[in-house]
Structure 1
Amino acid sequence: MEYPELAARTRRFTRGTPRAVTVADDGSRVLFLRSGGPEDPADALWLLEVATGTERLVADPATLLGAEADLAALPPAERTLRERLRLSAAGIGSYTTDPAARVAVFTVAGRLFRADLVHLDVVEVATVGPAIDPRPDPTGQRLAYVTQTGGTGQLRVIEPDGTDNLLAGEDSGVSWGLAEHIAAEEFGRYRGYWWAPDGRSVLAARVDESRLPRWYTHDPAAPESEPTSAAYPAAGGPNAEVSLHLLDLDGGWVDVHWDRETYPYLVSVHWAESGPLITVLRRLQQHGLVLAIDPRTGETQVHAELADPRWVEPIPGTPAHLPDGRVLVGGELAHDGYDARCLFADGTLLTPPSLYVRRVVGRLATGDGPADLVVEASDGEPSQRHLFRVRTTIGAGVEARPLTTDPGWHTAAVGGDVLVVGAASLDHPGIRWTVWRGDTELATLRSFAATPPYAPRPVLERVTDRGLPTAVLYPRDHVSGRRLPVLLDVYGGPGHQEVVAARAAWLERQWWADHGFAVVTVDNRGTPGVAPSFEKVIHRRVADVVLLDQVDALTALAGKHPDLDLGRVAVRGWSFGGWLAGLAVLRQPELFRCAIVGAPVTDWALYDTAYTERYLGLPDEGVEVYAHHSLVELAAEPVTRPDDARPMLLVHGLADDNVVAAHTLRLSAALLATGRPHAVIPLTGATHMAAGGTAERLLTLELDFLRTHLGQV
């Protein structure tokens, strides 16, 4: 069986792999999701008893609903949440627990279930409507959930006796307890309510989208179906109005006060014993505040300010209270020659400037002293991510001890004195999960995933005076001296790296290489992992910087790899990468012979506020900037030479609610008007993820396109 079909059947070899790992706060048990095998799409909930190393099945969605049930049937809001999470698994998509992990709650096809993790008993809980984002209170007695009726989100709480009470809800256009589009898509905040540590009140977000325009997606292949309507915050237009409220279970109500007009973006919320902390940002995200909330009055106090002349980039897992009461904040160290992404506690530096901190995982108990922090960070090599243990004791100085040393890309979950490590590498397939207490390995989480049919062989190196991370893949049977056409497989956008030391990132690219290409991938400036200045140099000039870096890296690699034929270069990308692919052939047709342009943002005025304005500013204040970044404007320019009209293959999902299909349709119209050759593949029913095997089954069509326009390979 060929790679495209295998990848489609196995969800790119991830089915059967543990994911969504949680550790009880006493380290006694580990929870995770995993399907039953390499072609089983439905994830079940599993538990590992740390003391014995025994795995136990907690909840099988097929058993809960019956063999004939549609495990992929989802309420609209749940489907939207999974799209924001880029989650394509069926069955149990996510779950939440109390801190002790004695109770877990989750939904399957909109139905709510509660699992007793001590006795391994699962019961369905009656709700007034399809349940979304259920969460038990910290005591494990009550549970809250959101349900939608008539376009509104209601926040409800179920008491131990089964009584289902409305906590908050109102008229159409207003939702309670759900993250708005901007929060989930651009800030990584996927939830809209938070329990108090004592379980007696809830901090809830109220989202008013009544000012936003309604955008519609519709699948023309199903003309009998109704269009799907959503409030979309397009660049330069209004955002949803988001406010926070402290809701007591007995009916009390306290509004949280901050200058929401100046700081409209609610980026993060954290509520532990020391009280709620929130991060809010200005619209252009060049200034933010970390605020502590007084739960009695709703008044806020500034704990830290975040500022950058380009944009602020908070570190996931911050802010948070440390055990000694100080507030942990992530930020940049950009003075005295430093160019670092660090952690601070009330202004005191905690991490060495050599580390590029990516995420705070949690606190790991040390026995006698206060818990240390576990962080994910890179230390000089952006293709690798490691785990570090960071001291937080006052006066202990700056110290970060590595917990992982093998080359690769590591992630973790922590609870008590137990650390669960997920390791991806170029040396083995998939992610290997191991459970540790101190230096002792206690157990592994089994994987049922299929083994890919080959091991990719990327050559990773840094090039140019900018130290751009790159990779080159050759066919596995390549003989030195044989000149190869080049496929530049790109993303290039902020917040995401492609050149990583994990085998999964290269499986599809090796398939392309084995069909006769030298596949090149470049992480241009603007991508994370190197340094803040490396990321933020793209401010207001994204197109110029990213394309220059891609071209310069190609040229540098050709000097090191003489088998790269720069007379035959194609470029391929999706989303931001689709925009970059289109930009490449329109701006530099002398280098790029053809492009595969997937789900591109062709007109940035059609994309959302927070992402677009962060990098390009407001449309009204930068008309020329937006025009300079528009593929539609570029495509409308007259063709003066035959070589300027390079062919494009445009691909877009018609159900895409993130980068709507209008982007590709407008680009196609502009290309047609100027006589530029192109073809369009509309993906009926597909979203921005193009999930369910759609993207994998496109590969052979894309290969035919490249062979046609680059010559036989």
Structure 2
Amino acid sequence: MKKYFILSIVLAGLTTSLAAQERQITLEEIWGGAFGTEGMDVLHSMKNGKQYSILNMDRKSRVISVDKYDYNTLEKVETIVSTENLDGIAYFTSYEFSDDESKVLLATDVESVYRHSRLGIYYMYDIQEKKTQKIADHKIQEPTFSPDGKKVAFVFNNNIYIKDLMSGETSQITDDGEKNKIINGVTDWVYEEEFAFVRAFEWNADGTHLAYIRFDESKVPEFSMDVYGNALYPVQQEFKYPKAGESNAEVSLFVYDLESGNSQQVGLKNAYYIPRIKWTNDPDILSAQVLNRHQNNLELFFYHVDEAKAEVVLHEEDKAYIDITDNLTFLDDNSFIWTSEQDGYNHIYHYGKNGKLIRQVTRGPWEVTTYYGYDSKTGRIFYQSVENGSINRDVYAVKLNGKKKQRLSVAEGTNSATFSSDFSYFINAYSSASVPPRYTLNDAQKGKELKEIVNNDALLEKLGGYKLSQKEFSTIHINGYDLNMWMIKPSGFDPDKEYPLFMFQYSGPGSQQVANRWGGANDYWYQMLAEQGYIVACVDGRGTGFKGADFKKMTYQELGKYEVEDQIAVARQLGEEPYIDADRIGIWGWSYGGFMSSNCILKGNDVFKMAIAVAPVTNWRFYDTIYTERYMRTPQENASGYDDNSPINHVDKLKGAYLLVHGTADDNVHVQNTMRMIEALVQANKQFDWAIYPDKNHGIYGGNTRLHLYTKMTNFIKENL
């Protein structure tokens, strides 16, 4: 076991009294927000590249404003809009500028629909005239300025509308929208969740055309959830949810001509999924990415509006699957930047406007993790990668020709950048296992730090008064691979004693839990458990991310096989350490992690004494098409892959203590998974514990919910490990 250490929050060099060091973390503190970090609000870089805007709220006066700041001085320059001066608008929660930054959309009374989608009342504020205009009298979705800022397109009741801000008139573009049947301009549930976008319409460069995707959900099976609420009778929420192997929405692409008022359907061959559309810099050319159902055949189409003709300019195939990103970037000459795993690692490529490869820009046995953009003035591409180790992240720049690569971040850990619009500055967000988030202004030319914006030194000082442990990073050799691992031991660790081991994992395809970054609430929970005598560990096994495509895609068609084998083997190997009690090993996880922990206590019943599964998938036949089939193909094609690795089919193997937790309003991993697992356990006459949280979604939060859940899990660990 190769080992290296990154000292955690306790070893930050702070000195405190012995009495203060005896203080231990409590669940009430964790879920009461005692250890929250200071951050930066999402900022908008102004077009001049020298200034940025931030949404601010004065907690005393309750005044909300959009304020402009100078990058160089970080000083406030002016207030763009404030509720102090807005008649009838008491608050707003987000803002979005028009392209010329003369107008801004303000969102009020926003409510969530699903994970990414929102409904709200929106206003346009004219910065020069200092006047507001309501976009619609009812809640709408995804309002978006036209390029000239004179119109706003939006979706209401599954139809697309365009409001003319000059005349105040609103035109209806589609008229066939109907709940649970036809959707225009926004995505259905499964696209939103798995392709991670909501707005399915795009303005072209000169605002003469609007492209949009139409979803026909008529053949998609409907799912229903009871919402209990506080009324005498519960209500049912019904929505279309395609489970693995079932029918998806039929998608089609249209281009609406504002002058003629007509929509033209785009002819796309093999368009089972249309996960992205984007206009090129040429207002007459629309790009569309098209996937087959297996998601291993991707075609990039260019649609020429004037000729009503679509052509394939790029084609990729993979033996397993192809991930969709937002990295497609068109340059001034309509050549484009593209990221791909075609050489075995995720890298940046430059293609001509005809789809011919010009060059591979980055290369090496490491992954590009984020693409930030291209600066046409300097000819440089900015990106984030794991070149400095798969648990770290750094910011880099490289010329379009692949030369003069430069590392712009310095500190080892996790660095991410937010660039000014002209790429002259970037705000670097940095953290590590020992350093909480720190935000600095940096020069983009060489990465030089110009000044600190935000730090969390006060949190470090506060944590110096607690009894905390170091987080040890290492690798452990399992099943032929060196897997990344972290471990937290009690602060008074004695190598001559035996400790119970509590393992955490997620293990989903392409995921990562072992990373050199500041932890969240769960890390404080692990610290609390460590001080109560447990060793806590986490290992990223086969199928996780940032070690190349082969490592990630090894679990293809066998979700829950190799990942489970790795976690069982890790537990066995760690159990051989003299300081770990091999008879007291437990494991827990949430969502995919709950699927894993369930499998581990069943298939590894001679290794794990207890397991906790929160919101788990218990049978992949219950989960959605896009995610599940990407990794498993359909149940009709791969029945054994589904059934051999689903916990629900192995309940007879249960020996240890098992806690099953779910929220009844989980629209993602339905409570059906847990209910069917319970019935299988009952019929196998297996004793277990379970907890159901009424009207809670996949996150299981709200009020005291998280405190209650973690109290239950902590007590379960103490009683059974």
Q: TM-score, normalised by structure 1?
A: 0.85
Moved more, 245-254 or 345-354: 245-254
Change beyond 3 A, Cα 1:700–1:209:
same
Partner of 1:86: none
1:600 and 1:659 in contact (8 A); partners too: yes
**Deviation at residue 678 of structure 1 after TM alignment:** 1.4
Partner of 1:5: 28
**Deviation at residue 552 of structure 1 after TM alignment:** 2.8
**Alignment partner of 2:96: what SS?**
strand
**How far apart are the structure 1 equivalents of 2:175 and 2:278?**
23
Partner of 2:712: 701
Partner of 1:188: 196
Partner of 1:81: none
Partner of 2:9: none
1:265 aligns with 2:278: no
Change beyond 3 A, Cα 1:692–1:585:
same
**How far apart are the structure 2 equivalents of 1:528 and 1:100?**
39
Q: Which amino acid aligns with 1:690?
A: I
RMSD: 3.2
**How far apart are the structure 2 equivalents of 1:240 and 1:255?**
20
**Deviation at residue 181 of structure 1 after TM alignment:** 2.1
Change beyond 3 A, Cα 1:333–1:170:
closer
From 317, 323, 327, the counterpart of 2:332: 323
Partner of 2:368: 357
Equivalence map 1:195-274=2 (5 Å)? 195-220=203-228, 222=230, 224-259=233-268, 262-274=270-282
1:579 and 1:631 in contact (8 A); partners too: yes
Q: Which amino acid aligns with 2:257?
A: D
1:138 aligns with 2:138: no
**Deviation at residue 226 of structure 1 after TM alignment:** 1.8
2:51 and 2:70 in contact (8 A); partners too: yes
**Deviation at residue 696 of structure 1 after TM alignment:** 4.2
2:223 and 2:240 in contact (8 A); partners too: yes
**How far apart are the structure 2 equivalents of 1:673 and 1:115?**
62
**Deviation at residue 155 of structure 1 after TM alignment:** 3.7
1:385 and 1:408 in contact (8 A); partners too: yes
Partner of 1:76: none
Any unmatched runs of 5+ in structure 1? 72-90
1:456 and 1:507 in contact (8 A); partners too: no
From 625, 639, 647, the counterpart of 1:631: 647
From 463, 474, 498, the counterpart of 1:461: 474
**Deviation at residue 193 of structure 1 after TM alignment:** 1.3
**How far apart are the structure 2 equivalents of 1:62 and 1:446?**
27
Change beyond 3 A, Cα 1:158–1:211:
farther
**How far apart are the structure 1 equivalents of 2:154 and 2:204?**
15
2:43 and 2:53 in contact (8 A); partners too: yes
From 533, 540, 545, the counterpart of 1:528: 545
2:408 and 2:444 in contact (8 A); partners too: no
**How far apart are the structure 2 equivalents of 1:556 and 1:419?**
44
**Deviation at residue 603 of structure 1 after TM alignment:** 1.3
**Alignment partner of 1:133: what SS?**
strand
**How far apart are the structure 1 equivalents of 2:155 and 2:383?**
32
Of structures 1 and 2, the one scoring higher in RCO (CA 8 A, sep 6+) is 2
Q: Deviations over 1:57-91 (max 9, x none)?
A: 66678997999x8x8xxxxxxxxxxxxxxxxxxx7
Partner of 1:74: none
**How far apart are the structure 1 equivalents of 2:473 and 2:300?**
39
From 522, 528, 532, the counterpart of 1:515: 532
From 25, 40, 57, the counterpart of 1:18: 40
Partner of 2:49: 27
Q: TM-score, normalised by structure 2?
A: 0.84
**How far apart are the structure 2 equivalents of 1:563 and 1:41?**
54
2:572 and 2:607 in contact (8 A); partners too: no
Percent identical pairs in the alignment equals 22
1:49 aligns with 2:49: no
Moved more, 569-578 or 693-702: 693-702
**Deviation at residue 688 of structure 1 after TM alignment:** 0.7
Partner of 2:348: 343
Q: Which amino acid aligns with 1:177?
A: G
Partner of 1:612: 628
**How far apart are the structure 2 equivalents of 1:671 and 1:30?**
57
**Deviation at residue 401 of structure 1 after TM alignment:** 1.9
Change beyond 3 A, Cα 1:256–1:579:
same
**Alignment partner of 1:184: what SS?**
helix
**How far apart are the structure 2 equivalents of 1:495 and 1:106?**
36
**How far apart are the structure 2 equivalents of 1:483 and 1:420?**
46
1:484 and 1:563 in contact (8 A); partners too: yes
Equivalence map 1:90-101=2 (5 Å)? 92=93, 95-101=95-101
**How far apart are the structure 1 equivalents of 2:402 and 2:558?**
39
Partner of 1:104: 104
From 428, 438, 452, the counterpart of 2:435: 428
**How far apart are the structure 1 equivalents of 2:490 and 2:88?**
46
**Deviation at residue 451 of structure 1 after TM alignment:** 3.1
**Alignment partner of 2:561: what SS?**
helix
- Residues paired across the two proteins, number: 663
Q: Deviations over 1:100-140 (max 9, x none)?
A: 54543242212113355x66968352404202222222333
Equivalence map 1:496-645=2 (5 Å)? 496-505=511-520, 506-557=523-574, 562-635=578-651, 637=652, 644-645=654-655
Moved more, 373-382 or 699-708: 373-382
Partner of 2:7: none
Partner of 1:689: 699
**How far apart are the structure 2 equivalents of 1:224 and 1:507?**
40
**How far apart are the structure 1 equivalents of 2:349 and 2:236?**
48
**How far apart are the structure 1 equivalents of 2:164 and 2:452?**
36
1:202 and 1:248 in contact (8 A); partners too: yes
Q: Which amino acid aligns with 1:619?
A: P
Moved more, 279-288 or 431-440: 431-440
**How far apart are the structure 2 equivalents of 1:511 and 1:445?**
31
Moved more, 463-472 or 571-580: 463-472
Moved more, 669-678 or 596-605: 669-678
Q: Which amino acid aligns with 1:199?
A: G
**Deviation at residue 437 of structure 1 after TM alignment:** 4.8
Any unmatched runs of 5+ in structure 2? 1-23, 110-119, 352-356
**Deviation at residue 295 of structure 1 after TM alignment:** 2.9
**How far apart are the structure 1 equivalents of 2:274 and 2:580?**
47
**Deviation at residue 3 of structure 1 after TM alignment:** 4.6
**Deviation at residue 492 of structure 1 after TM alignment:** 0.7
**How far apart are the structure 1 equivalents of 2:573 and 2:58?**
46
Change beyond 3 A, Cα 1:406–1:698:
same
Change beyond 3 A, Cα 1:512–1:447:
same
Change beyond 3 A, Cα 1:51–1:147:
farther
